[in-house]
Amino acid sequence: MALRFPPWRRGVFAPMSRPMPRYAFQVEYDGAPFAGWQRQADQPSVQGAIEAALAALEPGLPSIAAAGRTDAGVHATGQVAHADMGKDWDPFRLSEALNWHLKPAPVAIVACARVPDDWHARFSAIERRYTYRLIARRAPLVHEAGLAWHVRGGPPDASAMRAAAAHLVGRHDFTTFRASICQANSPVKTLDDVTVEVVPLPHGTEVRFHLRARSFLHNQVRSIVGTLERVGAGAWSPEDVLAALKAADRAACGPVAPPEGLYLTGVGYPADPFA
């Protein structure tokens, strides 16, 4: 009696390969111990920490992708990344397993969701939101050390900073506020909003700069905040900021704010994958 094999065993059909299921992650991290988001061979990175945790679950997975590559020392409360897994996971169980393997790194998966195979953390994004924290007071920071920019002195002039920030909203050539090593194809960006929020503290003042745009240039947020701080201190006028913008010259920029005050707080998509 002749053996009968299924069609693909007889060379008629090949078994269909199933695409790897894709998962989106919302990620929090303290950027202080890392050389930035991007994986590096000889320095710790946020990407490297998450990929090591994923490898503990499923060795040999492809690299993960993120909505934005934060620099060394920059934090996140709303970074978004995606990974292709080899098997179907319950999103809650996947996030729990990753958080277990991420310990003791200051990185946490705060949300996880299955997404379509063509969804991309970076290229599907339509908005990115950053917050920069500045604390003005004479005494050194203790509990907020490494989590905000400490500026010695009295409260900055919030009205002047808001007037200066208004000049930056809209579509402009942001060459002045762009790092010399920026790899973007064009310095022209649309800054949708800059909000200056003042929070009184028992011993000082915290200023939170909230910036929103589809995408940002390298060091754009820190360059803007460092320039606005000069306005708040009375060293620059709002009109000086407008002149610096129109100069389209990196030399016209104010000082660049340090990384420890910067947070990637959110990424927007046409449909919220974590809803």
Catalytic residues: 71
Count the alpha carbons within 13 Å of 152 in the hemisphere toward its beta carbon.
Answer: 3
Residue 173 forms beta bridges with which residues? 188
Return the structure tokens found at 11.
Answer: 């060379």
Could you tell me how far CA 177 lies from the centroid of its own chain? 18
* Chain centroid offset of residue 39 CA: 15
55-61: list long-range contacts, CB under 8 Å, 24+ apart.
Answer: 56/101, 57/94, 57/97, 57/98, 57/101, 58/85, 58/86, 58/87, 60/86, 61/85, 61/86
| Size of the chain in residues | 275
* Cβ atoms of 250 and 176 closer than 8 Å: yes
169 close to 193: Cβ distance less than 8 angstroms: yes
R_g (Cα) of the chain, nearest Å? 23
Running DSSP on this structure, what letter comes out for residue 271?
S
